Amino acid sequence: MLRNMWASLATLVLLLTGTIVSQANNPGLTLVINGRTAPAAVVQINGKVYVDLQILASITNGSLGFRGERVTLTLPLSDPGIPTPAPAIPPEPATEAGFSGDFMKAGIEEIALLREWASPLAYAIQNGYPITEHWVAGYREDAAKGLRLASAAAKTESERKALQLLSNEFESVREWSSKLVEASKSMDTAKYAMSAGALQNDPLSQKIIACGHFLGSMLGSGTFEDNPSCH
C-alpha cells in the first residue's frame, strides 16, 4: 500500500506536513542534470524545491526501490551517456628555479623575526642598557620557530638552498647575540655606547645586515640567488 501511495504521488519528496501540491508556486519548473532535461520533474512549494524520484532515477539510469517504509534510490557510479564535469585543475607547484607562495611568506616572516631579535638588542647595547640571556631567549625562540616553518615549506631544490641561507643568517644573529650578552656580563659594552658606529661597523654586524638585505630582495623576487654575505 505504501508503494502505491508513493507511485501515485509521482514520488515527490515532500518532507513537510500540512503541505499539498496545489500550493506549488512554480509547477512548470524543468530539472536539468548534466545536460539532460526532465520537464515537470520538480515543483516549488513555499520557496522549497522538491524532486520526482522516479524521473530522477530514469534520467540518471538509476533505480528506485521500495521495501517496507524505506525508499531506496540507487544512482550509477558512472554513465557514458552523462557528461562528467572536468576535473579541477590543481595549483601549479613551484618550479625548480622559483619559490612557492608558502615558502616566500615563511621566509619573509623569518627575516622579520630576525630583525625583531637584532634591533632591540642593538638599541640596548648602544644606549648602555644591561642585557641578559633570559631577555634575548624569547626573541631567539621566536626566530627558531619561524625557521622551522620555513623549513616545512621548502619543497624544491631552490627552496632548500634558500633555506640554507636563512639558516646561516639565523646562526649569525645567534652568534652575534651571544657575543653581546657575554660582553654585557663582563661590562665590556661601553665601546659600543661611546661610538655611534662602533656596533654597526663590527664585521659580524655588517655581515648580518648585508645578508638580511640580500635575503629580503631574493625572496621578494621569488627566485633563488646566492650571495657571499650569507655564508
- The pLDDT value recorded for residue 214 is 97
Give the model confidence (pLDDT) of 142-175 as tens digits: 999 999 999 999 999 999 999 999 999 999 999 9
| pLDDT tops 50 at residue 79 | no
Give the model confidence (pLDDT) of 55-65 as tens digits: 767 767 777 67
SS3 3: helix
- The pLDDT value recorded for residue 41 is 63
Distances (CA, A) of 228 to 44, 175, 208: 71, 18, 11
- The pLDDT value recorded for residue 167 is 98
pLDDT (average), residues 39-54: 67
Q: How far apart are CA 79 and CA 149, in angstroms?
A: 45
- The pLDDT value recorded for residue 38 is 62
| Mean pLDDT of all residues belonging to the chain | 78
Q: How far apart are CA 4 and CA 10, in angstroms?
A: 10
- The pLDDT value recorded for residue 126 is 87
- The pLDDT value recorded for residue 97 is 64
At 19, the pLDDT band (50, 70, 90 cuts) reads very low
Q: How far apart are CA 104 and CA 227, in angstroms?
A: 18
- The pLDDT value recorded for residue 143 is 97
| pLDDT tops 80 at residue 194 | no
| pLDDT tops 70 at residue 119 | yes
Query: Looking at the DSSP assignment, which residues form a beta bridge with residue 65?
Result: 72
| pLDDT tops 50 at residue 22 | no
| pLDDT tops 80 at residue 77 | no
| pLDDT tops 60 at residue 104 | yes
pLDDT (average), residues 121-137: 91
- The pLDDT value recorded for residue 46 is 65
Burial-class residue 19 by CB neighbours within 10 Å (0-12, 13-18, 19+).
middle
- How much of the chain exceeds pLDDT 90, in percent? 46
